[in-house]
Chains A and B, each alone.
Chain A
Amino acid sequence: MARFIVKRLVAMIAVLFAISVLTFLMLEAIPNGSPAERLGGRLATAAELHEINIEYGFNKPLYVQYVKSMEQIFSGTAYSYSQGLNVVDQVKAGLPATLSLSLGAGVIWLFFSIVVGTITAIKSGRFTERVLTVLAMMGVSFPPFFLGAVLIYYLGYKAKIFPLGGYVPLFNDPVQWAVHLVLPWFTLSVLFIGFYSRVLRSTILDTINEDYVRTARAKGLSERQVLVRHILRNSLIPIISLWGLDLAQVIGGGAILTESIYNLHGVGQFARDSIAHLDLTSILVVTMLTAVAVVVLAAVVDVLYALLDPRIRLG
Chain B
Amino acid sequence: MDEKKLAIIATKGSLDWAYPPFILASTAAALGYETQIFFTFYGLELLKKKLNLQVTSLGNPAMPMPMPIPVIMQTLPGMQSMMSSMMKKKMKSKGVASIEELRDLSLEAEVKMVACQMTVDLFEYDTSEFIDGIEYGGAATFFEFAGESDITLYI
- A and B: bona fide binding partners: no
Which residues of A line the B interface, CB within 8 A? none
Which residues of B line the A interface, CB within 8 A? none
